[in-house]
Amino acid sequence: MFKISLNIIACFKWVVDHEDIKVNPETNELVLDRAGYRISDYDRFAIEEAVALSEQYGGSTTAVTVGFPAAKKSLKDALARGPEKAIFINDPAFANLEPSQTAAILAQSINNQEFDLIICGEGSGDLYAQQVGPRLAEHLNIPCASFVRKITIEGRELIAERRVDEGIEIISMPLPALVTVLPEINSPRVPGLKDTLAASKKPVVEITGSDLEETVPCLETVEIKATTMERNCEKFDANEDDLKRFVEVLLRAGVID
């Protein structure tokens, strides 16, 4: 296959690990102070796809994240997954951005980079608003395809298989373009020790909030509460008596006839 050489940008977010989220039982508020962070699961597929495409067609991958200073920890992990370099758009004010701001910040930072393709996860593991990709495409005025499960490149055209509600749509669009990818698109490689060692030698470009125009939120959070599911929590054993009792309970509840 002939080489095309693609400059690919993979966007990723450093998100709170929800397994670590605790709830204050009195106020029902979330306790996040001690929670760990990780690269959003969905974005692992974006990074993998960028790296796999640049291996297949030639070229290189840049991993980009917008975050607060602690997100620096994410860079090594991201770079161990294969990208050649990273851009860290970093500011203490970037801790709780909403999608419109993240997209605007990414657009300003990416605008003067050379790129053929931007890949984002379909949504982030924390907010899962699924807006940053399409909004970013609008800011950069490039074509976009969301919920993509397969990408091929033909010359300067990108062919994508995307999910729509009735099935699959196969679209083509000229590069440069943006796609958001579904988890089914690939199986991200697990970085080994060698990858992790190599990652610390890769270049990181840092951009700070003062290099960029300020963004203002459009949304205002009124409150965030833990969701509760009040259920009976009655347990049965697997012995015959218990199972018969289980069936009776269902009958009484009127859910089976």
Partner 1 sequence: MAGVWVFAENYEHGLELLQIGRSLADKTGVELTAFACGDKEVGQQYIYYGAHQVFILPPLAEDQPLETYVPAIAEVARQEDPDIFLFAATLRGKEIAARVAARLNTGLCSECIELDIKDNKLEMKRVLYGGAALQTIICKTRPQMATIPVHTFTSVTDLDNTRQGIIKEFDPISSTPVKVRDRQPRAQESGDITRSRVLVCVGRGVEKEEDLKLARELAEILGGDLACTRPIAEELHWMPQETYIGLSGQTVKPELYIGLGISGQIQHTTGIRDSRIICTINKDEDAPIFKISDYGIVGDLYKVVPFLSQELARLKKK
Ligand X SMILES: Cc1cc2nc3c(=O)[nH]c(=O)nc-3n(C[C@H](O)[C@H](O)[C@H](O)COP(=O)(O)OP(=O)(O)OC[C@H]3O[C@@H](n4cnc5c(N)ncnc54)[C@H](O)[C@@H]3O)c2cc1C
37-66 positions binding ligand X, by CB under 6 A: 41-42
Out of partner 1, ligand X, none, what residue 236 binds, judged by CB under 5 to 8 A for its kind, is: partner 1
Count residues binding partner 1 (CB under 8 A).
77
> Angle of helix 99-110 relative to helix 132-140, nearest 10 degrees?
40
The contact pattern for ligand X, residues 2-41, with x = CB under 6 A and - = no contact, is ---------------------------------------x
Our finding on whether 48 is near partner 1 (CB under 8 A) is: no
Residue whose structure tokens are 């605007």 = 104
Out of partner 1, ligand X, none, what residue 193 binds, judged by CB under 5 to 8 A for its kind, is: none
In this complex, which beta carbon is closest to partner 1, that of residue 36 or of residue 194?
A: 36
How far the first Cα of the chain sits from its last, in Å, is: 62
Read off φ and ψ for residue 250, nearest 5 degrees. -65, -40
Look at residue 174 and give its three-state secondary structure. Answer: strand
Q: Within 86-125, which residues bind ligand X (CB under 6 A)?
A: 125
**Nearest CA to 185 among 52, 82, 34?**
52
Q: What secondary structure does DSSP assign to 92-144, as a single string?
A: GGGTT--HHHHHHHHHHHHTTS--SEEEEESS-SSS----HHHHHHHHHT--E
Stretch that binds partner 1, among 47-55, 194-202, 206-214, 244-252 (CB under 8 A): 244-252
**In angstroms, what is the minimal distance from the CB of 13 to ligand X?**
12
In this complex, which beta carbon is closest to ligand X, that of residue 41 or of residue 195?
A: 41
In this complex, which beta carbon is closest to partner 1, that of residue 73 or of residue 163?
A: 163
Q: Within 135-194, which residues bind partner 1 (CB under 8 A)?
A: 135, 137-139, 143-147, 159, 162-174, 183-184
Judged by CB under 8 A, which of 86, 122, 153, 181 binds partner 1?
A: 122
**Nearest CA to 21 among 9, 10, 33?**
33
What would you measure as the largest C-alpha separation in the chain, in angstroms?
71
- What is the binding site for ligand X (CB under 6 A)? 41-42, 125
